Structure 1
C-alpha cells in the first residue's frame, strides 16, 4: 500500500470533500476498502429541478476525484484510478487504489495546500487583470485533464452569455421547483449546517458589473449577505467556457477533474472563479451555447475568473458525515 496509512487515507477523504459543487450541495460519499478509496455520488443531494440528468452532480464528483488524486500524490503514493468501474452501480464514480511510492513534486505540494483554501466567488472582481500567462497555464491544465478551457475574447459573446444567464435566472426565480431548491441550500445567518451556501458567502448588495452576470439569490429577499463594503468589486473578470468533446457520464467526470485542476492552479495565484450554471440547466439554452459559441464541443461550465476583494469562509461536512462503510 505504499506509505499511506489509514490516517493518510482519511486525510485524503477530508481533502476530497473540499471540492466545489452547485449550491455547495456536496453530492458525494466515500469509503475505504483496504488500499482503495471508493467515491460514490450521493443522489439524495442531486438538484432534481436544476440537474435532472445528474450532469452537475458528476462534475462535482469529478472535482472531488481530482482532489483525491492530488492528496494521494502529496503523500508520496500514486493514485491508480478506475472510473465508473461497474455499469450495474451507476452511483459508483471511481475506485482509487494506492499505487507505488515515489517522490512528491513541488507542484503537487502547491495544489494540495490550495485544496482547503480555494473559494467560490459570488460577486464582481477588483480592477486587476488576470495575467495572460496565467490564463495560458489554466488552458494547458484543463487540456491535461481531457477538457478545453476557452477564455471568451469576443465582447459580443460575453454579452450573449451574460444575457442568457440573466434570462435563465429570471425563469428559475418564477419556478417553484427551482425556488424550493434554493430554499433548501441557502443558509440563514448563524446556521450550523456544514453544507449549503452560508449567508456571509455573498455580498448583501452586490455591485453590478458590465456585462452583468446574474447571481443566485440565496438571500431570497431576507436581507442576508456580507455587509462589508465592496466598492472595488466592479469588474466582470475573464469569462471562460469549460467544454468537452463528448457528453457522456465519463465526460462529465472528466470535466469536473479539469475544472478543479484549473481552480487550484488559479487559487495558487490569488485568482477565484464565479460559476454561472443557470443557462446550462436549460437544455435548449445549453444547445444554443454549444451551437453558436462552442461548436462542436459541449459546454460544461460557464465561469468568471478574477481577483476578489477578499476571500469568504468555506464550510464542509465532517469526515464522519462523508465516510461510509465499504
Structure 2
C-alpha cells in the first residue's frame, strides 16, 4: 500500500463521514503526494432510482466539502477543480493541498462538526427551527452557490409537498426493481461497512402528513412531529456540475445545522421520480432545479451509520484502476 501523508489520511477519514443516498458511499479516491483525485464509483450507483447519477454526484459533492473543511483543520488550503473531463466521465474533482494559515474559529467549529453530523430518522421536537439557525443554514447554502427554501408548517404548500412525497413513495413501491434496490441497501447486516442498518431506519410514521420518508424495511411505527421545518435545496442549473455543487451546499448546510444542534433526514424519493420532481418545483414556485428535500429539527444524537475506512476507499480505487 502506498504511503499516504497522515494529514491526508485524516482528511479522507473525515471526508468519508459525508452523507450519501442509502449510505452507498459512491466515491473512489486516488492520492499522489498531496493531490487528491475524487471519482464517482458506478458500482455503488442506484441504477434504477438514480439512473442519471444525480444523487451519486450529490453524495460525492458532500465528500468533497468535508475534505475541504478537514483540510483547513490541518492548516492546509485546498485548491479544487470540479468537472469536467471529457476523457474521464467519472472524475468529480481534483484537490491540491498546500500549506495554509492556521484555521480560524469558524473553520475549526465546522471541522469539528463533521464527526457530530449524522442523519436522524426518529421523531423530532414538535417545533420549527429557531430563526438564527434558519438564517445560518440558508447562508451556508448560498456560500456554495445554492438556495435553501424553507417549507414551514404554516404554509399551504406544505400539505401539497407531503402529498407528492407519499405519491412518489407509492409509485416506487410498485416497481419491483426499485423495491429490490432499496432493500439491498437498507436493513443491512451489522457487519457491513455501508448501507443503513435496520435499527437506524427509524419507525414508519402513522400519519401521512408527517415530514419523514417511509422505508420499506422500517420496523414499527410512531407518531412523528408535524411542526418541524422542511427545506428544499436547489441550484441554478441541473448539470453534473450543479449536482456536485448541491452536494457541497448540502454538507455545508448540515455542518452549520449541527452547530445549532439541528439534525436532518431526507425525502429523496420525490426527487427521483421526474413527474413528482417537476410537480414539487411547481408547488414551491421554484425558478431553480430542486436537488434535495430535507426535514430539519431538534432531536437526541442518533448513532452513526457505518463507513468504509480511508484504507478501503483507497484500496478500491487501486482495484478499479488495475482492471
TM-score w.r.t. the length of structure 1 is: 0.90
Deviation of 1:236 after TM superposition, in Å, equals 4.6
Deviation of 1:186 after TM superposition, in Å, equals 1.3
The answer to whether the 8 Å contact 1:124/1:236 transfers is: no
Residue in structure 2 matched with residue 217 of structure 1 by the alignment: 215
The answer to whether the 8 Å contact 2:40/2:91 transfers is: yes
Post-superposition Cα deviations, 1:74-119, rounded to whole Å, max 9, x if no partner, equal 1111100011152211111010001232120111111111112211
Residue in structure 2 matched with residue 243 of structure 1 by the alignment: 234
**More helix by percentage:** 2
Residue in structure 1 matched with residue 193 of structure 2 by the alignment: 194
Are residue 274 (structure 1) and residue 272 (structure 2) matched? no
Are residue 255 (structure 1) and residue 254 (structure 2) matched? no
The answer to whether the 8 Å contact 1:243/1:294 transfers is: no
- Using the alignment, how far apart are the partners of 2:127 and 2:157 within structure 1? 22
Deviation of 1:218 after TM superposition, in Å, equals 4.5
Describe the SS at the equivalent of 2:76.
Answer: coil
Unmatched tracts of structure 1, length 5 or more: none
Structure 1 residue aligned with 2:286, among 295, 298, 303? 295
Are residue 155 (structure 1) and residue 146 (structure 2) matched? no
Matching of residues 52-201 of structure 1 within 5 Å:
52-153=51-152, 155-188=155-188, 191-201=190-200
Post-superposition Cα deviations, 1:29-87, rounded to whole Å, max 9, x if no partner, equal 11111121111100111001110000000000000000010011111111000111522
Q: 1:208 to 1:309 in 2, by over 3 A?
A: farther
Equivalenced residue count is: 313
Residue in structure 2 matched with residue 15 of structure 1 by the alignment: 14
- Using the alignment, how far apart are the partners of 1:252 and 1:260 within structure 2? 13
The answer to whether the 8 Å contact 2:20/2:56 transfers is: yes
Describe the SS at the equivalent of 1:187.
Answer: strand
- Using the alignment, how far apart are the partners of 1:33 and 1:10 within structure 2? 12
- Using the alignment, how far apart are the partners of 1:18 and 1:240 within structure 2? 22
Structure 1, 20-29 or 100-109: larger mean CA deviation: 100-109
Q: RMSD in angstroms over aligned alpha carbons?
A: 2.0
Q: 1:310 to 1:87 in 2, by over 3 A?
A: same
The answer to whether the 8 Å contact 2:121/2:212 transfers is: no
- Using the alignment, how far apart are the partners of 2:67 and 2:273 within structure 1? 31
- Using the alignment, how far apart are the partners of 1:120 and 1:126 within structure 2? 15
TM-score w.r.t. the length of structure 2 is: 0.91
The answer to whether the 8 Å contact 1:163/1:213 transfers is: no
- Using the alignment, how far apart are the partners of 1:97 and 1:290 within structure 2? 37
- Using the alignment, how far apart are the partners of 1:284 and 1:264 within structure 2? 31
Describe the SS at the equivalent of 1:15.
Answer: helix
Deviation of 1:234 after TM superposition, in Å, equals 2.6
Post-superposition Cα deviations, 1:96-155, rounded to whole Å, max 9, x if no partner, equal 001232120111111111112211122331124421111011111100100001112452
- Using the alignment, how far apart are the partners of 2:250 and 2:208 within structure 1? 25
The runs of at least 4 aligned residues of structure 1 exceeding 6 Å deviation read: none
- Using the alignment, how far apart are the partners of 2:211 and 2:172 within structure 1? 15
- Using the alignment, how far apart are the partners of 2:214 and 2:193 within structure 1? 19
